[in-house]
Structure formats: structure tokens, C-alpha cells
Structure 1
Amino acid sequence: MKAQGQAVDTTAAQPAPHAPFVVGAYAQGSIIMAHTYAIRHLVASHPTGFEINLQRQTTGAAPWHGWYKYPKIGMALTYYDFHNPILGYAFSASPYISKSFSRGAKHDFSFRLGAGLAYLTNPYNQETNHKNTIASSALNATLQFRFEYDYALTPHLGLLVGAGLNHYSNGATTKPNFGVNLPSVVLGLNYYEQRHPNLANGNAPAPEDVGKLFYNVSTSLGYKQRSEGDKQKYLVNSVTLAVGRRMNRKSNLLLGVEGFNDRSLKATLNDTTRAGLRQPDVKKAGVFIGHELLFGRLAFDSHLGFYVYAPYKSSTPYYERLGLKYHFTKLLFGAVDLKIHRGAADVIEFKVGAKL
């Protein structure tokens, strides 16, 4: 008889057992990190929050469940009170994945990573709220990472303590946008439908495309604001060609070239170039190396790129990109990426493409 919670070690696909739910309710206490001088006047308060989340324990329905030692996937609904009338309140919804480092009969030590959308009730307004330099739009992106330790109080009830970071930003879609980082401690309870479910397909074979090359072609668009004084949103778009290789069950490596057209740079040149002088080209071209961490159809992207054509020196000679990519079919994918220059958000890119 197979011990409860033990994965089946076989290359033959086994029917996945029921994936049980975990419901959590947590209190959070935070500080505002003064990551730039422009927000130091806002760091006096200590935000507090409350979170409700619904998780599901993977049990082997897809091969990647076993490759990652059966992570949990979930949705977190979070409320934050900044205890500052300038900042107001924040409401967010974040899908996430939680990967265990150590799991035993009565404990589970894990790392959680999530991304989603947040609504801030009191964004920057030049006339009525000019001191809120953190965010100038109500709708923002949120990122969350956290280390969690859950200890079983009963077969169905667990005590959770955690420490992590919550981040809110609109990715420079509007200005000012210095964003807010909230280092947080967490205390709460989890209710387990079944703490130790049976697991299947713990030794699923590697996919057939390991070691093979593939090609990506994609295009993206985004919008950004130059400054608080200029309310216009400028279109930013790009075209990318990349070659990739499936390195193993969990990773792709990519090498690519891409071109960018940021129309906010043209507006800046029009404001600063003397009449009659020739303006440099604002278009840019770059090369990049990238990595994709794979979870079935979903991937976490990270790129490091270098501009090889940039007549107008508006930024650092390199750029970074972090994002989420999802394959709708074997051919078509979509992605949401944050392009960064030396830690500062440049633009949120909405991307569609094809894998050939």
C-alpha cells in the first residue's frame, strides 16, 4: 500500500488524484521602503493589511507538477491601509505559485511568487494630491514574493508565519511613478481540505523538445507619459526575433534582436532641439539574452539586452525585462513585460507572438 502523500515513481502516466483546496486568512504589517529621495516624505506611516487567498495543491495532472515537487497555485486578495491620507488604501488581486523547500508531516516551508493588479484609492493629482509621488494612476501592477512557514495545529488547520515584499507600480504609464515597496511580516491561518493528498506522476519523462531549437517572432505595444506636466500618453512599440533552445524540463534559453520606437523621445527632442538643427533618430535596436522558467503553458521571462543602435542617448546602454508569458496554443503566445533601465521602469509591454 502506498503511503499517503508519497509520489508514484513510475514513467507511466497515472490518473491525478483530487487536487484539494487550501483557504488562508492573514494579517500583514509593513513599512514603506525609502528607495528614492522623492518618496522620503511618505515613509513615516506603517501600513497594515489583510489577505484572503484560495490555493490548490497540484497532484500530478500535468508533468510539470512533479518536476517542481507539486507546488500550490492560488489567488490572493489583499487589502492595505497606508495609514496616511496622502496614500489612502490599496486593493489587489494576485495569482501566484508557491514552491515548497521542505515539506513534512506537520510543516511546510515554501517560497511564493505572484503578480497581478492593484487599485490605489488616492493617486497623485496635481491640484488635490500633489504629494503622492508613489503612483499617479489608480490602476497599478503588483508584484509579491514571500517566504512562508506553515505548522499543522490540527489535521486541517495550519498556523502560517511569513516575510516578504509587496510592490505597487504603474510601470511609468503615467508620471510621477516611483512606486512603493512594502517589506512585510505575515501571520495567519490556513484551512486544508486535505493536508497530505496522494500524488501521481512524480517521475514524468522529459518533454520531447528538450535540446531542440525554436524561433519566436513577436510584437508589442505600450503607453507612457513623459512627465507630470505633459498629460499625453505616447505609444511605444517593438518587434522581436529570437532563437531559443529547450535546455531541460524547466528552462528555455533565448538569443534575439529587437527594434524599438518610443514616440515620447521624439516629443522630448521637439521640445529641446533648436530650430533648424537636425534631430537624431529616436528608434533603437538591441540584442538580448533571455531565460524562461517554464510551468506548463506559463513562463516567467527575464531578459538582459544591449542597444547596438541608439543615436539618441536617452537611457543606459543596456536594459532589462521581466514578465509573464502564456502559450494559448503551441503556436500563439501572449506576454506582459516590464522593461527597465537600471532599476527604473520604462514601459509595460503587451506582447503577442508565434513560436515557430
Structure 2
Amino acid sequence: MPQQAAGSVGPVAAPRAPLVVGLYAQGSIIIAHTDAIRHLVASHPTGFELNLQRQTTGAAPWHGWYKFPKMGLALTYYDFHNPVLGHVVAASPYISKSFSRGAKHDFSFRLGAGLAYLTNPYNQDTNHKNTIASSALNATIQARFEYDYALTPHLGLLAGFGLNHYSNGSTTKPNFGVNLPSVVLGLNYHEQRPAPQTNAASDPAEVGRTFYNASTSLGYKQRSEGDLQKYLVNSVTAAVGRRVNRKSNLLAGVEGFLDRSLKAQLEDTTRAGLRQPDVKKAGVFVGHELLFGRLAFVSHLGFYVYAPYKSSTAYYERLGLKYHFTRVLFGAIDLKIHRGAADVIEFKVGARL
């Protein structure tokens, strides 16, 4: 429960969250994670980032559970220094968790996801060498270790090392994506340092309780570079979960999938007169949700128990973000993966019972 001041009749309000504004330069290389992009790794991309963040101070119980992380928005620009790839601009909300924090230093790790716009996507006629991405709009994931050292009470020098990833999740092809290991150097302006904090880190009432989820999703994907049609992909999921501690839910469930691109693939490859196998699939999964208030980072590992058409590995992974709009209704954006390769981006709605 929130702390009470001596002689008071109500809880003490959390201090105002101070603002931190940063401006950083970035230098990168392109990782040749597949031979299909090896011809694009000669350049060294450079860019800059405008960063807006607030230091949490205890307004919600989960702030104290994670030792008062920072919440921010990163606006990033990169020049690939390659006319085939062009430029990229991205916006990434993120959370930053401190490992060591003192009056003059802060060593932390941040993780964010958002949207990116690539100026020179693949085009079969005008830009066929860009095998990284065939759509202008892409998803981005940003992970980074950062060290901020106070030069003055309000000005900090920041150095960091991280990874920027851009991909459209196989919505269109080719889509091998790009990974940019990056060195970061810049300045932070701190409105107040150190930030005031009040600890209201009580245990939630849901710890130890069982719940049930039901959801459905849709996505779309391109089958191949030669087939420009977008095919719908749907799934339905039923799961049982349990809140095991302040930060975690564990889940297990069953789900069914219908990927219409597999039907088109069969029609191209099956001999006339032969019976085609069923393209529907069913799976079982176990999963974990890392909780940040209404927001959760989702990770699942599943195994197909019904898959007459063997179009992929026997297992699949899912990574995503889930948000509870109410105690019952939630939405999620997931990336479904087969052996490290993106299969489809799923947009999900569901209910918790």
C-alpha cells in the first residue's frame, strides 16, 4: 500500500516524474546474417537520436518492483551511406532498467519496439538489390546498454552499445531484415538528478490466482517475391494462466492456425488429380508474460500437434507486446517465428476470464 506521512489521513502522492532529454550520435555496421544480404554490408551507417524519457518515481506499484525504471520515446535517423538502402527514420517507445544507480552515474539496459520508415525498399524493377526489406513501413526493435555520467547537476555524458533491428515480419518479401550493432555517444539533460522516489511496491492481489484467456488474431503475408498477393493468416487461442509473482504470469494453451498462403503454395506444387493435405494446423504452447502494469512482454514456445502439410518446423516461437485495456479486454501484437525466421505479424484481441 502507498506510504502515509505521520499525522496524515491519506496516502502520500508519488513525486512528479522528472524529464530527461537526450541527443546522441550513432555509428554502426551491418551484420551479414545471411548470404542474401552480403552484397549490402560494405557501408557503415551513421545516425542520430532524439530521446525523451521520464524517471518513474512510484506512481504505480510496479515502478518499485523494477527499482524505478525509466520510460521513454526514441526518435532515430540513420543514413545507410548506400543508395540501395537509403535512409531510415524510426520511433520506438521503450523501458530502461538500471543495474547500478548513484548520485553521478546510471548503468542501465533498455529495450524498445516501434515503427520505422525505410526510404528505399525493394522494387523488382528499380531497386532489386535491396533484399533487406520490400516495404517502406517496418517494425523496429532496439536493445542497448547505456552508461550516463553526471558532468554537472543537470548534464550527463552518455555512452552506449546496442542493436537496432528493422524488419516487416515477412508481410512482404524479400524480407531478410537488417541488424545494426551500434556505438552511441551523446548528452542527456536531467530536469532533476537524482530523481525523488516513494516506494509503493505492494504485492498485487492476483498473485497465486488462476485465469483463462481466449483470443483471436489476424495477419497477412506475401508468399514469395513472384506472388505479390497478400494472404490472410488467422489463429484462435485458449489458454490457462497463473500469476506466480509480482512480475510474471505463466501460461499453457492450445491454438489453431489457418494460413491461406499455404493453400496457394500447394496449388502451385501439387500434381493435378492428387489430393492436397489440409493446411490448417493446431498446436500446444507454454508461455511467459513479464508484467509492467497493464503492459506485458509475451514469449511463447509451441509445438504443432496437427499439421498434415509439413510447411515449417515442428515448433514455433512467439514474441510480442500485450496491453490490457480493461480487466477483461486486451490487445496484442505478436511476431510468430519458425527457427529464427519471421513467419507473420499477428494482431490479436482477446478476453481474460
Residue 217 of structure 1 pairs with residue 249 of structure 2: no
- Which runs of at least 4 in structure 1 moved beyond 2 Å after TM superposition? 7-10
Q: Give the whole-Å Cα distance in 2 for the aligned partners of 1:312 and 1:82.
A: 40
Q: What's the CA shift for 1:197?
A: 2.0
Query: Which position in structure 2 is the counterpart of 1:170?
Result: 168
- The correspondence of residues 173-212 of structure 1 with structure 2, limited to 5 A, is 173-202=171-200, 204-212=201-209
Aligned residues: 348
Query: Which position in structure 1 is the counterpart of 2:21?
Result: 23
Query: Which position in structure 2 is the counterpart of 1:250?
Result: 247
Residue 264 of structure 1 pairs with residue 261 of structure 2: yes
Query: Which position in structure 2 is the counterpart of 1:232?
Result: 229
Query: Which position in structure 1 is the counterpart of 2:324?
Result: 327
Q: Give the whole-Å Cα distance in 2 for the aligned partners of 1:37 and 1:9.
A: 61
RMSD over equivalenced CA pairs, Å: 1.3
- The correspondence of residues 54-133 of structure 1 with structure 2, limited to 5 A, is 54-133=52-131
Q: What's the CA shift for 1:198?
A: 1.5
Matching residue's letter, 1:148? E
Q: Give the whole-Å Cα distance in 2 for the aligned partners of 1:120 and 1:62.
A: 37
Cα–Cα, structure 1 residues 103 and 260, in superposed 2: closer, same or farther, change >3 Å? Answer: same
Preserved CA contact (<8 Å) 1:8 1:199? no
Task: Pick one of 308, 312, 336 that aligns with 2:333.
Answer: 336
Q: What's the CA shift for 1:9?
A: 10
Q: Give the whole-Å Cα distance in 1 for the aligned partners of 2:172 and 2:270.
A: 24
Residue 288 of structure 1 pairs with residue 280 of structure 2: no
Task: Pick one of 309, 315, 318 that aligns with 2:315.
Answer: 318
The DSSP-based 3-state class of the residue aligned with 1:52 is: strand
Q: What percentage of residue pairs aligned between the two structures are identical?
A: 84
Matching residue's letter, 2:264? A
Q: What's the CA shift for 1:227?
A: 0.7
Q: What's the CA shift for 1:219?
A: 0.2
Q: Give the whole-Å Cα distance in 1 for the aligned partners of 2:263 and 2:195.
A: 58
TM-score by length of 2: 0.97
Cα–Cα, structure 1 residues 135 and 175, in superposed 2: closer, same or farther, change >3 Å? Answer: same
Preserved CA contact (<8 Å) 1:60 1:201? yes
Q: Give the whole-Å Cα distance in 1 for the aligned partners of 2:80 and 2:4.
A: 49
Q: Give the whole-Å Cα distance in 2 for the aligned partners of 1:14 and 1:326.
A: 28
The structure whose RCO (Cα within 8 Å, separation 6+) is larger is 1
Matching residue's letter, 1:146? R
Query: Which position in structure 1 is the counterpart of 2:132?
Result: 134
Q: What's the CA shift for 1:196?
A: 1.1
Matching residue's letter, 1:73? M
Q: Give the whole-Å Cα distance in 2 for the aligned partners of 1:29 and 1:283.
A: 45
Which structure 1 residue ranges, 5 or more long, are not aligned?
1-6
Query: Which position in structure 2 is the counterpart of 1:276?
Result: 273
Preserved CA contact (<8 Å) 1:286 1:309? yes
Which structure 2 residue ranges, 5 or more long, are not aligned?
none
